[in-house]
Amino acid sequence: MFAVLRRMRSLEAAAGSTQPRLLVAAALVRVLGFSGRALAGLFDDELIARLRTARGESLPPAVAAELPDWLWLRLSAEHGEEEGLRLAQALANPAPLDLRVNLARASREDVLARLEADGLEARATPHSPAGIRLAGKPPINRHPLFKEGLVEVQDEGSQLIAWLLAPRRGEMIADYCAGAGGKTLAAAALMRGTGRIYAFDTSPKRLASLAPRAARAGITNVHSVVLAAGQDARVKRLAGKLDRVLVDAPCSGFGTLRRNPELKWRYRPEAVDELVAKQGRILAAASRLVKPGGRLVYATCSLLEAENEAVVAAFGAAHPEFVPVSSEKLLEGQRIALTTGEYLKLFPHRHGTDAFFGAVFERRKA
């Protein structure tokens, strides 16, 4: 049950136990608001009474944040206790349902009008020019707009990574860790079906879902490539030839805890350290594809500086041929007003999105 995964620590404190059955009872009472009458016969009356009266004002910070101790220590050290708690509590809430309009085939205004005509409450997202936020969780995958490929489900923060890449018509670009291809398709829509996009990934299973999604969206300029272990010959042939490369690096995913609350219980500090080393290797490998004057974007959906600023700093120190570019100024040039500074840093309690990080480099011209 998602309610238990989201708020396990405070529920354990209220129930005085880690037993799954008691945690479910705590979630039903304290999160979902079930009355004692509704739960009569399912749980002990004394337990229900105790859960209803349990106080949360004096909980330890990590418990109030609904995080493992080690993760809270990192988060509070990087953001401060007050800001860290606001961020953590926002991550414990469910995420809204965001759509990305396929701007190559429809306008956001037209899609909003169709949704309204069908009785769905929707509004434009405040930051992404292609974003729409729906009220509630309607089965959008059954809607004609989805079936016709005019919308995709994608968090607004994820959409903004494509605007950071900002591919132009006719260019050759790569999504180096494409996965199921959400950001690949967002970039393709900005290119209006021109140029060529290489969708690289080491997992055939992840890439397999990209082809039907691209077909539904009417996108024909995406070329999926399963990367072999070690030096892939197809990647070597593209060295120094691509206009833009996106590295949406494999990460802890802590920025998506609103959607994937199990991640905070799955990862341990040593697993994050292993990811950091992997992220550095992937970024260095992907950078070889960028031509002089081309753009390299590093992105994660992590909250941790170790996976974000530290990786970028290490890469910049080892690769002086790549010059940092201000994310804020790049977005401002596309009429996207976000005060983020050199890096794109999005958070649910500030921006209403999942937490995302983005850094941009440009390769010096010879």
DSSP track, 92-141: TSPPPEEEEE-TTT--HHHHHHHHHHTT--EEE-SS-TTEEEESS---GG
Chosen domain end from 119, 135, 153? 153
Angle between helices 269-287 and 309-318 (to 10 degrees): 40
Among candidate residues 226, 303, 215, the one with its CA nearest the CA of residue 258: 303
Same domain for 208 and 301, yes or no, is yes
What is the per-residue pLDDT for 26? 83
Residue 102: how many CB atoms within 10 A of its CB?
23
3-state SS class at 156: helix
Q: From CA 335, how far away is CA 86, in angstroms rounded?
A: 29
Query: At 193, which amino acid appears?
Result: G
| Long-range contacts of residues 21-25, Cβ cutoff 8 Å, at least 24 apart | 22/47, 25/51
Q: From CA 71, how far away is CA 307, in angstroms rounded?
A: 13
Residue 263: how many CB atoms within 10 A of its CB?
16
Among candidate residues 164, 160, 156, 167, the one with its CA nearest the CA of residue 324: 164
Between the alpha carbon of residue 94 and those of residues 71, 112, 165, 268, 302, the distances in Å are: 20, 23, 28, 23, 17
Same domain for 311 and 245, yes or no, is yes
Same domain for 183 and 47, yes or no, is no
Q: What is the pLDDT of residues 248-299, one digit of tens each?
A: 999 999 999 999 999 999 999 999 999 999 999 999 999 999 999 999 999 9
Same domain for 222 and 278, yes or no, is yes
Same domain for 169 and 299, yes or no, is yes
101 Cβ contact list (under 8 Å, min separation 6): 107, 108, 111, 130, 131, 132, 150, 151
What is the per-residue pLDDT for 231? 60
What is the per-residue pLDDT for 229? 66
Between the alpha carbon of residue 26 and those of residues 30, 32, 46, 174, 355, the distances in Å are: 6, 9, 12, 47, 28
Which residue do the tokens 């983005």 mark? Answer: 358
Same domain for 31 and 172, yes or no, is no
Query: Residue 132: which domain range?
Result: 97-153
Same domain for 21 and 104, yes or no, is no
Same domain for 129 and 161, yes or no, is no
Looking at the structure of the chain, the number of domains it has is 3
What is the per-residue pLDDT for 236? 84
Q: What is the pLDDT of residues 106-131, one digit of tens each?
A: 999 999 999 999 999 999 999 999 99
40 Cβ contact list (under 8 Å, min separation 6): none
- On average, the pLDDT of the chain sits at 93
Same domain for 147 and 168, yes or no, is no
Same domain for 27 and 56, yes or no, is yes
> Which pair of structure tokens corresponds to residue 68?
């493992």
Angle between helices 8-15 and 45-53 (to 10 degrees): 120
What is the per-residue pLDDT for 89? 95
205 Cβ contact list (under 8 Å, min separation 6): none
What is the edge-to-edge ordering of all strands in the sheet holding 151-153?
Answer: 122-124, 131-134, 97-101, 151-153
> Which pair of structure tokens corresponds to residue 1?
């049950």
Chosen domain end from 138, 153, 168? 153
Between the alpha carbon of residue 136 and those of residues 15, 68, 139, 198, 360, the distances in Å are: 30, 29, 10, 35, 34
Catalytic residues: 301
Chosen domain end from 153, 171, 194? 153
Same domain for 139 and 60, yes or no, is no
Same domain for 161 and 202, yes or no, is yes
Q: Which residues of the chain have pLDDT under 70?
A: 1, 56-57, 229-232
